[in-house]
Chain A
C-alpha cells in the first residue's frame, strides 16, 4: 500500500491526491451498453466535476445535511457521491424507484433521514416527477440535476476540513417489511474497510476493477467503485441490467480490459455457467484475473466448481475465487479469503448443524453439507462466535452468532440510539468485553477462517432443530425443472402450537401454463422431506417475477410470509396439509 495514501484522513483527500499525482490517468469507464459504448473520466476531471458538484451543493445545503442520490449506474453517480464527500454532505445512495412498489421504502428513508436535497440526472428526474407531485415528503426537497451543475464552478468550492469522524454516507438496510435503518458510515470506517479490502483481495498497482453491481448497494459502491478509486486504478462499470440481459458482457469486459478484480453474489457465477454460449466462450481470456469475489449471498461449492470447470479453457482457476462475508453495519466487509490460497471448505453433518454442533464428515456421507470458508480479516478485526441467547462465547465445536469489533464497524443506525446500543455495543456476558457488533448471522471459526451458517432471524426452528431457509430453497429449485432458480422462499409460521414450514416458489415463465402443477408441488414436498427430514405444511407455486425481493435481489422471506398469511400471493397452485380436527385452520 502507498504510504502517502495510507496517511490520508478521508476519501476526499485520496481522490485529490490522485488528481494531483496522475491527473490524466483514467479513473472510471462506463460501458453504456455493457459492451463498446464507452464513457470515461480521468482523475483530474473527476476531481474537477466533484468540486463543481460540491460547490453547487454548498449553495443549496450546509455541511452535515442529507442528500438523496437517485442515480442509474454511470459516471454521474460517482461525481455526485464524491461531490457530497467534498461538501461534507451526508450522501444517501438509493435505488431509483421505477415502480410505485419501490416508492414506500424511499419515502420512509427520506422521512427517517430528513433529507434536504435529492440529486439525480435529467432523465431520471423526468421519470420520477410523479413522486414530487404525489407525496408531501417531496414538498420541501431541493433538486440538484447533474446536467445543470456548472463544471466551471469548481473554483467556487470551499474545501471542508478533513474530519475522519464525520459521517460520509448513510447506507440504508434492505428493511424487508420494517422501516429501513440508515447505517452511519464515517470517513474513517470507509477508509479502513477499503484498506481491509485492498489487502484482502490484493488490489495493487496493476489491478483493474470490472463491476456491474448496483451502485447503491454496499458491495457495488465500496468494493466495486471506491476500492479502485482509493488505489488510483481504473474501474470499468456497467449496469446490472446490462449484465442480466447478457451475462457474457461481464466476463467479456474482464477479458477485453484485462480486468483483475470483480465481485458478485453466487447467483451471477451460476448465471454465467448457464447462459454463456460455446461461441461466446471462444472470445474470453480470464487468465489475468486475480480475484473473483463471491459474497452478499450464500457461497456454494457446487457453483464455484461448475464455474471453474466451464471457464478453465479460458484461463480461470479455482483459486481466483474469493469468498467473503460482510454486512452494511461493518461497512460491507468482515472477512474474505486469505490471499494466495484456494477457497477452503469443510463438510459438516447436516443433522448436527440443526443442533448448532460442528461434526465433520467425509464428502460421501449421506448427511454431508459443504460449507465454504469466508477467510479472515486483514485489519485485525476481533471476530467472536457467541451464543445469542446467553451472550457467552461458544466452545470451538459450536455454531453461534458472529460478533465483530473493528475499525470498519459503523457508528450505529441514524437516530436510533436504542437499537444501535443493542446491535453495535454488545458485551460478552462472561468477561464484559465489548462493544461488539452483533451481526445477526450464525457461523463458526474453523482452521482460522470464518464460516457462515445463516441469518438468525430467517432461521426456521422446528421441534428444537435449526433449519436455514436458503438450504431448503436450494433443495427446492433443484427438484423440478419448472422452478425458477433463486426465486423461492422457505419460512415458518406459528399456529399457536408449533412452527410449521411453508414453502413458496416461482415457476419459470415457459412453464406457467403447464397443466400439472401438482407434480411440481409433490416433487418439492418429497425433496424437502428427503434432504431435510421435514414435511412442508404448505407448498405454493406462484407466477414468475412476483416473489418479494430486496433492492439488491435477495429474497424477502418476511414479506413473502406476510403475503402468504394475507392471501396476497399470486398463486398458480397451492397444496396445504389437511386441517386436523381440534386445530385452528
Chain B
C-alpha cells in the first residue's frame, strides 16, 4: 500500500468519523490540530484506526500534535511502520 492509498483511507475516516463531515475537502498538508479543526483528543482514534486498518502500532510518544498534524504526517508515519 502506498502513501496515497493510506491517505485516502485516513481522509475518509477523519472526515466522516472525526469531523462529522464526509464531504469536507481535506487537503494533504492541511493542519488538523493546530488549526483547531480536530481536537488532540481525537489522535487516540487515529491511533486505533491505524492499528485496525493498517495493522501498525504507533506508540504514545509518536502520537502527538507535532508528528501527526496533517494527512501527510500521518501517512508518512504509518508507511514507515508498515515497512519496518
A residues apposed to B, CB below 8 Å: 351, 463, 498, 522, 525-526, 528-530, 532-535, 577-578, 580
Chain B, interface SS category: helix
CB-based nearest B residue for A518: B52
A525-B51, A526-B52 known; A580-B44 Cβ under 8 A: no
CB-CB under 8 A from A498, the residues of chain B are: 60
CB-based nearest A residue for B40: A533
- Contact, CB under 8 Å: A534 / B44: yes
A-B contact pairs, 10 of them (CB 8 A): A463-B60, A498-B60, A522-B52, A525-B52, A529-B48, A533-B43, A534-B44, A535-B47, A577-B57, A578-B57
CA distance A577 to B58 in the complex (A): 10
CB-CB under 8 A from B49, the residues of chain A are: 526
- Contact, CB under 8 Å: B45 / A529: yes
- Contact, CB under 8 Å: A526 / B45: yes
CB-based nearest A residue for B49: A526
- Contact, CB under 8 Å: B17 / A530: yes
B59 CB within 8 Å of chain A: yes
CA distance A480 to B30 in the complex (A): 34
Output the least CB separation between A119 and chain B (Å). Answer: 54
Of A529, A532, A578, the residue contacting B47 (CB under 8 A) is A529
CA distance A498 to B47 in the complex (A): 18
CB-based nearest B residue for A522: B52
Output the least CB separation between B10 and chain A (Å). Answer: 15
Most buried by B among A528, A529, A532, A578: A529
CA distance A533 to B43 in the complex (A): 7
Query: Count the A-B residue pairs with Cβ separation under 8 angstroms: how many?
Result: 39
CB-CB under 8 A from B39, the residues of chain A are: 351, 533
CB-CB under 8 A from A463, the residues of chain B are: 60
CB-CB under 8 A from A532, the residues of chain B are: 44
Number of contacting residues on B, CB 8 A?
Answer: 17
CB-CB under 8 A from A534, the residues of chain B are: 44
Q: A498-B60, A526-B45, A535-B47 are in contact. List 13 more A-B contacts (CB 8 A).
A: A525-B48, A525-B51, A526-B49, A528-B44, A529-B47, A533-B39, A533-B41, A533-B43, A533-B44, A533-B45, A535-B44, A577-B57, A580-B59
CA distance A533 to B44 in the complex (A): 5
CB-CB under 8 A from A525, the residues of chain B are: 48, 51-52
A522-B52, A525-B51, A580-B59 known; A351-B45 Cβ under 8 A: no
Output the least CB separation between A149 and chain B (Å). Answer: 62
CB-CB under 8 A from A578, the residues of chain B are: 57
CB-CB under 8 A from A533, the residues of chain B are: 39-45
CA distance A211 to B60 in the complex (A): 49
CA distance A535 to B43 in the complex (A): 9
Most buried by B among A351, A533, A535, A578: A535
CB-based nearest A residue for B17: A530
For the complex of A and B, list the 8 residue pairs with the smallest distance between their C-beta atoms, beginning with the closest: A533-B41, A529-B44, A529-B45, A529-B48, A533-B44, A578-B57, A535-B44, A525-B48
Output the least CB separation between A83 and chain B (Å). Answer: 57
CB-based nearest A residue for B41: A533
- Contact, CB under 8 Å: A530 / B45: yes
CB-CB under 8 A from A580, the residues of chain B are: 57, 59
Output the least CB separation between B46 and chain A (Å). Answer: 8
CA distance A460 to B59 in the complex (A): 19
CB-CB under 8 A from B60, the residues of chain A are: 463, 498, 535
Output the least CB separation between A72 and chain B (Å). Answer: 47
